[in-house]
Amino acid sequence: MKGAETGSTITIRPFEIEDEAAVLALLEQTLGGGPAGRRPAEFFRWKHVDNPFGRSFMLLAEADGRVVGLRAFMRWRFKVGGRELSAVRAVDTATHPEFQGMGVFSRLTRAALDALAGQVDLVFNTPNDASRPGYLKLGWRDVGRVPVALRVRRPVAFARGLRQPPERLPPRPPVDAEPAARVLERADEVAGVLAQVRPREGRLRTPRDVGYLRWRYGAAPLLDYAGVAEEDAGGLRGLALFRVRPRGALWETTVAEVLVPDGDRRTARRLLARVARTAAVDHLTLRAPALTAASAGFLPTPGGISFVVKPLRDDLVPDPSTLGAWALSLGDLEVF
């Protein structure tokens, strides 16, 4: 393949560890700092190498000895009933500005799908409005928007922040909570809580164990996840994991996980109330069952998070292209 403007021959090949510096430079140039604000090597390795579901599948586009394109698919798994599905999530797509509009994205995507066929059940991701049409053109299915609930904590500041540009963001508020890594040190008790979390029947969910939580929230560089825990006479009753992050000119507490025994809305409400008190943010966001969200002062918001899938098998049950097939937390959707 030759770039029409550059005259360079573009070749596709697998990522090698020696490519890390060039890939990080390309990501920084094309996508900016990402969810962590910058892209150091440790963040890249946490995401693509240390993932407990396996190392990411990554392809590069190369021209004249330099990396000009990247297509990365993170390994993931979903569970429904007693079955597990193998999945990948499309992340970190980058094309050098000199090679944009030359089909690099499409070629990398098709090559990756060909390589993953037979070993992966489905591909999923959360594209923005600009990139979603490209995915649909390549055969992804638009599942819809995953609803997110909102609790406004500082109404006047929230209303003002909606009208202000991001550069008017005030300093980050302090967070009065333990780091998630410390909360998750209580491995046996956390495992006991997880054993009592009952997934919604017949819906696809990320299988959670202590190792996954420690990777996702305890070891994530730069993201500063924190946690709060609720106790009873028997020990740990539940926990919530969250992070304080900028959202335009506002500060948001993103509640990634609320883990409580099945049906224990009282503990969930207490955890969410504690999370709300940890930082003087403008608002909180949450993805949880409607009754739990409403009872903790959260209200549904218009829109939501765009979610698309590409099944690589025809016999998947439940049908992953329907929103009702999924049981997702914000931790499943944000960051990546």
> How many percent of the chain have pLDDT more than 70?
98
DSSP string, 127-138: --TTTHHHHHHT
CA pseudo-torsion sign 253, 334, 286, 133? positive
* Whether the Cβ atoms of residue 132 and residue 142 lie closer than 8 Å to each other: yes
- Residue 267: closest CA among 234, 240, 297: 240
pLDDT at 8: 76
Q: 320 Cβ partners below 8 Å, 6+ apart? A: 122, 124, 143, 204, 309, 311, 326
Per the confidence metrics, is the pTM higher than 0.75? yes
End-to-end CA, the chain: 30
Q: What is the pLDDT of residues 274-328, one digit of tens each?
A: 999 999 999 999 998 777 888 899 999 988 999 999 999 999 999 999 999 999 9
* Whether the Cβ atoms of residue 95 and residue 30 lie closer than 8 Å to each other: yes
Q: Which domains are seen in the chain, by residue range?
A: 10-146 (3.40.630.30), 149-302 (3.40.630)
DSSP H helical segments within the chain, as ranges? 20-31, 41-48, 104-116, 132-137, 155-163, 180-183, 187-196, 210-213, 265-277, 290-295, 330-333
* Over residues 68-80, mean pLDDT: 97
Reading the block at residue 94, the tokens are 């980058």
* Whether the Cβ atoms of residue 1 and residue 10 lie closer than 8 Å to each other: yes
Place of tokens 């994991």: 241
- Rounded Cα gap, residues 87 and 109, in angstroms: 15
pLDDT at 92: 95
* Over residues 163-172, mean pLDDT: 93
Phi, psi (degrees; rounded to nearest 5) at 327: -125, 95
What is the torsion angle, in degrees rounded to the nearest 10, for the CA atoms of residue 291, residue 292, residue 295 and residue 297? -120
Does 1 score more than 70 pLDDT?
A: no
- Rounded Cα gap, residues 168 and 108, in angstroms: 38
The strand pair at 57-63 and 10-14 is best described as antiparallel
pLDDT at 291: 74
Reading the block at residue 309, the tokens are 């899938």
Does 230 score more than 60 pLDDT?
A: yes
pLDDT at 84: 96
Amino acid identity at 215:
W
Q: What is the pLDDT of residues 105-123, one digit of tens each?
A: 999 999 999 999 999 999 9
pLDDT at 5: 56
Q: Sorting pLDDT into bands at 50, 70 and 90, what band is 198?
A: confident
DSSP H helical segments within 117-261, as ranges? 132-137, 155-163, 180-183, 187-196, 210-213
DSSP string, 225-248: -EEEEEEETTEEEEEEEEEEEEET
Across all residues in the chain, what is the average pLDDT? 94
CA pseudo-torsion sign 185, 190, 204, 288? negative
Helix axis angle, 20-31 to 41-48, nearest 10°: 100
- Among 5-14, 23-32, 46-55, 170-179, which stretch is predicted with the lowest mean pLDDT? 5-14
Q: Sorting pLDDT into bands at 50, 70 and 90, what band is 199?
A: confident
